Structure 1
Amino acid sequence: MTAEAKIQNDIRVALSAHGCTIIRTNSGSVKTVDGRMFIAGPPKGWPDLTGFRHSDGQLILVEVKNETGKLRPDQKRFAEFIQRFPVIYGVCRSAEEAIKLIEE
């Protein structure tokens, strides 16, 4: 099974070669010195990759999954929400799927 991190990197390279700027959406949490939790990054369910297509500035959001990966409930809610807007969104399991997504 292919690691999701490898698929993410493959997609980033492929979409960059196809006229897009794509970044990995980082998130995480840490405990501060005074014991509070600090959560960094976008809301739960936000896709793994965020970017835009150079030709028209179209926003691109890609949720990356490996061959057997399934969307979590928060990712499903995000997918339902974002499809109401004129953005490019999709779940991709390979660089080839991501290229098809931006070419549609």
Structure 2
Amino acid sequence: MREQQIQNEARIALSKDEHTQFRINTGTVITRDGRPFSSGTPKGFFDLVGYRKQDKQIFFIDMKTKTGRIRDDQIKFSIKLKKDNVIHGIARSPEDALKIVNEGLIGYGLEKYV
């Protein structure tokens, strides 16, 4: 399954479970005069950010395929989130995303890195 498909299914599952979440879009384009322009969040920022309806706790989730690799900038972002005790993790399935949010996990899927 592709990362985009996992992300779409996770977003549906989180919404059904009444969690509010937003997909983070980033990218680089070339301007008309040939200059690159990057928009969006800092490098390493996770794919989804949201909050739990019941207690308004914020969460961050990065989606990966079963074999998708975690980048160094994502590890650095996770270290910051862990230090601040923020719910976050790597989801390789919609079930992972629900587990991270519902159980309030910090650093799920990143245990060997942080």
Structure 1 length as normaliser, TM-score? 0.92
For 1:72 and 1:86, locate their aligned partners in 2 and report how far apart those are by CA, in whole Å: 21
* Residue in structure 2 matched with residue 66 of structure 1 by the alignment: 65
What letter matches 1:20 in structure 2?
H
Q: Percent identity?
A: 43
CA-to-aligned-CA distance 1:38-69 (integer Å, 9 cap, x gap): 11110000001111111111111001111111
RCO greater where, 1 or 2, for CA within 8 Å and sep 6 or more?
1
**How much has 1:86 moved relative to structure 2?**
3.3
What letter matches 2:96 in structure 1?
E
Question: Which structure 2 residues correspond to residues 1-104 of structure 1 after superposition, within 5 A?
Answer: 2-104=1-103
| Uncovered stretches (5+) of structure 2, i.e. residues with no partner | 104-114
For 2:49 and 2:101, locate their aligned partners in 1 and report how far apart those are by CA, in whole Å: 12
For 2:32 and 2:93, locate their aligned partners in 1 and report how far apart those are by CA, in whole Å: 40
What letter matches 1:41 in structure 2?
G
Q: Secondary structure at the match of 1:77?
A: helix
Q: Secondary structure at the match of 1:83?
A: helix
Structure 2 length as normaliser, TM-score? 0.85
For 2:19 and 2:44, locate their aligned partners in 1 and report how far apart those are by CA, in whole Å: 22
How many corresponding residue pairs? 103
* Residue in structure 1 matched with residue 111 of structure 2 by the alignment: none
| Uncovered stretches (5+) of structure 1, i.e. residues with no partner | none
